[in-house]
């Protein structure tokens, strides 16, 4: 017993190097993520702005004012529409492009680089590019629509089209990032499975539905989660393209938070909006994880059923 006690090594000595290597990352996480999060929660309980010398404790008054504000509810609805309009096309288009690249490996490297180029530029540069494209009088998009004898709308000035214009910009910029993940996921699928399915007489759609799609499910789930979180946090393209307008048509939760914090200087209200935004992102992510687990449980048979077969 005494020998075993002597051979035991303190965890700090055994894993000291690991703790040292992880410490910088944890410190950055603490300074730039955890502290701002708790600071926002604290500030949301006060009524103050950048020009006040003291803070007035108001409790949950900032939250009640937000939930009773029609403008804030409009930002919630705009955010929900933007999530649907951007996330669904991003996932579908990136998957379709990845399937096309996987079927034509000769051009894979060139096309993969081409689709990744929009990701490399900043949101500000991408938005400035699309400002010229969406110009109603001299923009390329309306110029192309004229060939089809379609009268192009005022993309950035019409409330009916402004959110769609922001969505198009977001999809164009984010698709290439997800194509890389789908290409990697497709390359990890063994070709033997597809060849076996072809020998059994399965067509292209059957192979995709019964072989490729189930094996690609973890990648699809990851892309969906990342796309939803990125859509929640979209700001640069909205700020440059529309500035939250016209008539609040593109005033998402993040942009409404920005206006209260840096234009109206309502720090307490902006902090409350940040807390609500974090809560919504957390809820949506949890729902996505539960759906993924439920689908995985439905695909994997129980042990008893496996033994019977």
Confidence of residue 9 (pLDDT cuts 50, 70, 90): low
Domain that holds residue 241: 61-302
Residues 144-166 have a mean pLDDT of 89
Condensed to tens digits (0 to 9), the pLDDT of residues 205-237 reads: 888 888 888 888 888 888 998 899 888 888 989
| Number of domains making up the chain | 2
CB 124 within 8 A of CB 208: no
CB 258 within 8 A of CB 235: yes
Q: Is the domain of 20 the same as that of 91?
A: no
More confident of the two residues 214 and 81? 81
Closest alpha carbon to 41 in 255, 270, 245, 206: 270
Q: So what's the pLDDT on residue 301?
A: 46
Q: How does the average pLDDT of the chain come out, rounded?
A: 84
Q: Is the domain of 21 the same as that of 145?
A: no
Residue 239 CA: distances (Å) to CA of 18, 138, 156, 301: 42, 22, 12, 49
Q: Is the domain of 29 the same as that of 122?
A: no
Question: Is 109 a member of any domain?
Answer: yes
Q: Is the domain of 4 the same as that of 68?
A: no
Instruction: Please compute, for residue 157, the number of CA atoms within 13 A of its CA located in the half-sphere on the CB side.
Output: 7
Q: Is the domain of 179 the same as that of 249?
A: yes
Q: Is the domain of 72 the same as that of 29?
A: no
Question: Is 261 a member of any domain?
Answer: yes
Question: Is 53 a member of any domain?
Answer: no
Whether 298 shows a pLDDT value over 90: the answer reads no
Q: Is the domain of 28 the same as that of 66?
A: no
Condensed to tens digits (0 to 9), the pLDDT of residues 275-285 reads: 999 999 889 88
Q: Is the domain of 69 the same as that of 22?
A: no
Task: Report the 10 Å Cβ neighbour count for 44.
Answer: 24
């Amino acid at each position: 017993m005494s020998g075993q006690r002597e051979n035991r090594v303190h965890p700090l000595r055994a894993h000291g190097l690991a703790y040292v290597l992880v410490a910088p990352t944890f410190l950055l996480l603490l300074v730039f993520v955890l502290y701002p999060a708790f600071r926002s929660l604290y500030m949301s309980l006060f009524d103050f702005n950048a020009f006040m010398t003291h803070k007035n404790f108001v409790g949950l008054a900032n939250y009640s004012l937000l939930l009773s504000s029609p403008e804030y509810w409009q930002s919630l609805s705009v955010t929900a529409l933007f999530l649907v309009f951007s996330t669904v096309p991003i996932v579908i288009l990136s998957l379709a492009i990845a399937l096309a690249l996987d079927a034509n490996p000769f051009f894979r490297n060139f096309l993969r680089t081409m689709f990744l180029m929009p990701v490399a530029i900043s949101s500000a540069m991408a938005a400035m590019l699309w400002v010229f494209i969406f110009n109603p009088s001299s923009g390329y998009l309306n110029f192309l629509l004229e060939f089809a004898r379609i009268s192009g709308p005022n993309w950035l000035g019409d409330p009916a089209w402004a959110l769609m214009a922001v969505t198009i910009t977001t999809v164009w910029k984010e698709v290439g990032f997800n194509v890389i993940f789908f290409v990697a996921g497709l390359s990890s699928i063994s070709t033997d499975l597809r060849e076996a399915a072809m020998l059994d007489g399965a067509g292209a759609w059957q192979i995709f539905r019964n072989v490729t799609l189930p094996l690609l499910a973890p990648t699809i789930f990851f892309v969906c989660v990342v796309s939803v979180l990125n859509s929640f946090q979209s700001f640069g393209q909205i700020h440059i393209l529309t500035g939250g307008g016209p008539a609040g048509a593109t005033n998402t939760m993040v942009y409404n938070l920005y206006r209260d914090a840096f234009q109206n200087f309502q720090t307490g209200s902006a902090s409350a909006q940040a807390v609500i935004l974090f809560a919504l992102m957390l809820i949506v992510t949890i729902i996505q994880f539960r759906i993924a687990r439920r689908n995985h449980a439905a695909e994997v048979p129980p042990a008893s059923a496996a033994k019977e077969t």
